[in-house]
Structure 1
């Protein structure tokens, strides 16, 4: 006998985030380390929402109660976040590899990355900064990110997204000679 598929979690588009009010949905997503838990709702970033829509875990409606497709959500989100495409590709790749990925905004990075082996960790080990292969980056910008990561005792991973959507990762840090 086949297991009954889990129901799609209802979600609402709210300005610059996605909100879940369904208690079962909050529990399921929080258990898998998605979103930010608030008193009576769970908020998701656009990259998390895109990932969950692509997996058919959430069904997203706008303020007019119109069901949004992945493409429609992408269009809305891209108007707010110009780096959405490369952030989403890196997020999807890291999640598909089994990592827990959270926002890195307070560290000036795109993501915080948690070890696969211990999802109950309080502190992330890595900060991830995402760049496009097609847009040049100053070395001084990267050294600034390395300094921030070092000051908060994290390792910096640079994710480079190429024109085909493939992601390559580089671990950046200080080297004492």
Structure 2
């Protein structure tokens, strides 16, 4: 929940992300403190998992482009149309944030998230891990696993698989290259 003098960030949900005004003082505070969102020239942009996380924590109000408040149910319905794995990805994102890590999108690394060690903010140091959320019931071929490992190795990050069970609990497996 927001603190006494904090107002929830008023944000607009778009197809690919969530945006808030650059002059929103609470958005600035959250960015400075915990690196929520990405600052652009004219707004703060949030990944959908980031916006939903802030919504669930009572720190953001989600609105449509027509300025109507969006319910959790409506948000999930719309997002799942475009991203059927959203719940799995959100479970991993929320778990990492709740544990004190900063997780950011990692599309340019070929992964879902890049994760910074506790106390490290993006821009101060490099991410330690790239993370792939996986539902416990889904299959991962050796070829896919090797490809994920190669991406992690080539970006000088460690590979973290976030396995999400039916209850939404996450178990992590870290994979490292061994030099014999």
Match of 2:85?
83
CA distance in 2, matches of 1:139, 1:150: 16
Shift of 1:86: 0.2
Q: What is the distance in 1 between the residues matched to 2:156 and 2:22?
A: 36
Query: Are 2:147 and 1:147 equivalent residues in the alignment?
Result: no
Task: Tell me the secondary structure at the aligned position of residue 79 of structure 1.
Answer: helix
Cα distance, 1:7 vs structure 2? 0.7
Structure 2 residue 64 is the aligned partner of structure 1 residue 57: no
- Cα distance in 2 for partners of 1:29, 1:96 equals 15
TM-score with structure 1 setting the length = 0.93
Q: How far 1:96 sits from its partner (Å)?
A: 0.2
Post-superposition offset of 1:67: 0.4
1:22 deviates by 4.8
Contiguous gaps of at least 5 residues in structure 2: none
Asked if the contact 2:115–2:130 (Cα under 8 Å) also holds between the matched residues in 1, the reply is yes
Tell me whether 1:174 sits opposite 2:177 in the alignment. Answer: yes
SS of corresponding position for 2:168: coil
Separation in structure 2 between the aligned mates of residue 146 and residue 92 of structure 1, nearest angstrom: 23
Matches within 5 A, 1:151-166: 151-166=154-169
The corresponding residue for 2:9 is 9
Match among 132, 135, 139 for residue 129 of structure 1: 132
1:34-73 → structure 2 map (5 Å cutoff): 34-73=36-75
Change (3 A) 1:83 1:20: same
Cα pair 2:115 2:128 within 8 Å, conserved: yes
1:26–1:41 CA contact under 8 A, matched in 2: no
Q: Count how many residue pairs are aligned between Structure 1 and Structure 2.
A: 175
Q: Which stretch shifts more, 3-12 or 38-47?
A: 3-12
- Counterpart-to-counterpart distance in 1, 2:35 and 2:61: 18
Deviations 1:1-25 (A, max 9, x none): xx72411111111232110015213
Extract structure 1 runs of 4+ deviating beyond 4 A. none
Q: Distance in 2 between matches of 1:145 and 1:119?
A: 24
> Does structure 2 conserve the Cα–Cα contact (< 8 Å) formed by 1:53 and 1:69?
no
What are structure 1's unaligned runs of at least 5 residues? none
